[in-house]
Amino acid sequence: MTPEQRLELIKEVGEEIITEDELLALLKKKKHPIAYDGFEPSGNIHIAQGILRAINVNKLTKAGIHFKFWVADWFALMNNKMGGDLEKIKIVGKYFIEVWKASGMDMKNVKFLWASDVMSDTDYWLKVINIGRLNSVTRITRCSQIMGRGDKDSLSAAQIFYPCMQCADIFHLKADITQLGMDQRKVNVLAREVAPKLGYKKPIVVSHHMLLGLSKPVDTKLTGVDRGIELKMSKSKPDSCIFMTDSEEEIKRKFNKAYCPEKIVEDNPVLEYCKYIVFEKIDQLLIERPQKWGGNLEFNSYDELEKVFVKGELHPADLKIAVAREINKLLIPVREHFEKNKTAKKLKKLVESYQVTR
């Protein structure tokens, strides 16, 4: 592919790119840029973290990008995940990796690195301290959304380190690109601000879309990124998200009660599943319905589906059934992996036990 073609593929992932010109220049200069993505091992893993993440990674690796996945175990510790038990957090990190293996992620161009492995590195901590020296506490706490927290007054003293450490991760890993969700935008911009002051290259920010939760959105006056954070899928609301090892019955139940207003596209999570997951994995979506309701429908693209839905020619109930069916098909290999692979099965059992005692 030409640099321009690679850019177009990356733009399918990047809801926002800071900046496209810099990214195109990088692609012309470097055949295999390094992208950084970090994740907190935090219990169960939902479809946005699993299937959607695999879809995005595979597009980017196809464009020549190599990934460094940062298993942010110490960050999960700072956020008191798994009750602050670092050993449990590490088990959950291994479980996440098994999920991605079963999700079809292009593992040959992905390297998993653990935050705990650099916690004794004085050079890493020097980066953290220097980033902190350049910023006020107020500036740092503005980035608290990266931890899923909007209430800055509720931050623990440990969590104040978090944004400075995430910035340091980018520089420590020598990343050309930060490839995280839109909810991480503020800390990525912070990294771009401090980079030249500390003698590092500015990372290019490629922020992917945050999949909506299945529940009806609460009334909110928030806009832009803040609104996206408010409405995104959350593990704290189990019925609002599909977990990667959910049974077929659970998937059907959750979609049956999912918010899907007739003729409305905005904030419609069922349509989002179609756009960002279903039509990324299949070429045609079949809607099965009786002849008295118009008979079966076949859609070859998301745009085609959306137009028919907006006209009111496709009922939400029929759409939900079809989407639940396709999502279940995608999760069958994941469920089978955790049933048949002894290591994966053991990890899943451990993680599920943590959920109970957490």
Out of 145, 179, 208, pick the residue that ends a domain: 208
Q: Is 215 a member of any domain?
A: no
Q: Buried b / exposed e across 107-137, counting CB within 10 Å, b at 16+?
A: eebbebbbbbebeeeeebeebbebbbeebee
Out of 174, 208, 242, pick the residue that ends a domain: 208
Is 270:255 a contact under the CB 8 Å cutoff? yes
Q: How far is 268 from 251, CA to CA, in rounded Å?
A: 17
Q: What is the CATH number of the domain that holds 318?
A: 1.10.240.10
pLDDT at 357: 42
Q: Is 219 a member of any domain?
A: no
How confident is residue 174, by pLDDT bands cut at 50, 70 and 90? very high
Residue 193 shares a structural domain with residue 234 = no
Residue 140 shares a structural domain with residue 230 = no
DSSP string, 220-246: ----HHHHHHHHB--TTSGGGS-BTT-
pLDDT at 263: 96
CB neighbours of residue 32 within 10 Å? 12
pLDDT digits (tens, 9 = 90+) for 17-68: 999 999 999 999 999 999 999 898 988 899 999 999 999 999 999 999 999 9
pLDDT at 219: 61
274 secondary structure, DSSP code? I
Residue 198 shares a structural domain with residue 242 = no
CB neighbours of residue 277 within 10 Å? 21
Cβ burial of 259 (10 Å; 0-12, 13-18, 19+) is: middle
pLDDT at 233: 55
Residue 201 shares a structural domain with residue 73 = yes
pLDDT digits (tens, 9 = 90+) for 298-350: 999 999 999 999 999 999 999 999 999 999 999 999 999 999 999 999 999 99
Residue 200 shares a structural domain with residue 236 = no
As beta bridge partners, residue 288 has: none
For strand 285-287 and strand 204-208, is the pairing parallel, antiparallel, or unpaired?
Answer: unpaired
Domain that holds residue 57: 3-208
Q: Is 213 helix (H, G, I), strand (E, B) or coil?
A: coil
Report CA Rg, the chain.
21
From the list 183, 140, 144, 166, the residue with the least C-alpha distance to 70 is: 166
CA-to-CA dists, residue 52 to 89, 109, 246, 293, 341, angstroms: 22, 17, 16, 33, 23
Is 164:147 a contact under the CB 8 Å cutoff? no
From the list 69, 205, 87, 232, the residue with the least C-alpha distance to 145 is: 232
Give the mean model confidence (pLDDT) for residues 80-107.
Answer: 92
Residue 85 shares a structural domain with residue 197 = yes
Residue 189 shares a structural domain with residue 244 = no
Out of 168, 184, 208, pick the residue that ends a domain: 208
Which position has the token pair 């953290």?
Answer: 128
Q: How far is 54 from 104, CA to CA, in rounded Å?
A: 7
As beta bridge partners, residue 18 has: 205
Dihedral, 299, 302, 308, 309 alpha carbons, nearest 10: 120
pTM (predicted TM-score): 0.88
As beta bridge partners, residue 204 has: 177
Q: How far is 113 from 179, CA to CA, in rounded Å?
A: 15
pLDDT at 264: 96
As beta bridge partners, residue 114 has: 71
Q: Is 217 a member of any domain?
A: no
Residue 62 shares a structural domain with residue 107 = yes
Rounded mean pLDDT of the chain?
90
Instruction: Check whether 14 has a pLDDT greater than 50.
Output: yes
Q: What is the CATH number of the domain that holds 123?
A: 3.40.50.620
CA-to-CA dists, residue 6 to 108, 144, 167, 278, angstroms: 19, 33, 26, 23
Residue 74 shares a structural domain with residue 173 = yes
Residue 10 shares a structural domain with residue 154 = yes
Residue 61 shares a structural domain with residue 201 = yes
Which position has the token pair 């979506």?
Answer: 285
Which position has the token pair 């107020």?
Answer: 138
Backbone angles phi, psi at 294, to 5 degrees: 110, -5
Q: Is 279 a member of any domain?
A: yes
Which position has the token pair 């295999």?
Answer: 32
Distance of CA 200 to the CA centre of its chain: 26
Q: Percentage of the chain with pLDDT > 70? A: 91
254 secondary structure, DSSP code? H
pLDDT at 149: 47
Q: Is 88 a member of any domain?
A: yes
Q: Is 78 a member of any domain?
A: yes
Task: Kindly provide the residue ranges of all beta strands, DSSP E only, lying in 34-159, ordered along the sequence.
Answer: 34-39, 66-71, 110-114
Distance of CA 142 to the CA centre of its chain: 21
Residue 89 shares a structural domain with residue 152 = yes
Instruction: Check whether 227 has a pLDDT greater than 70.
Output: no
> Of residues 92 and 150, which shows the higher confidence score?
92
Q: Please give the tally of structural domains in the chain.
A: 2
Q: Is 148 a member of any domain?
A: yes
Q: Is 348 a member of any domain?
A: yes
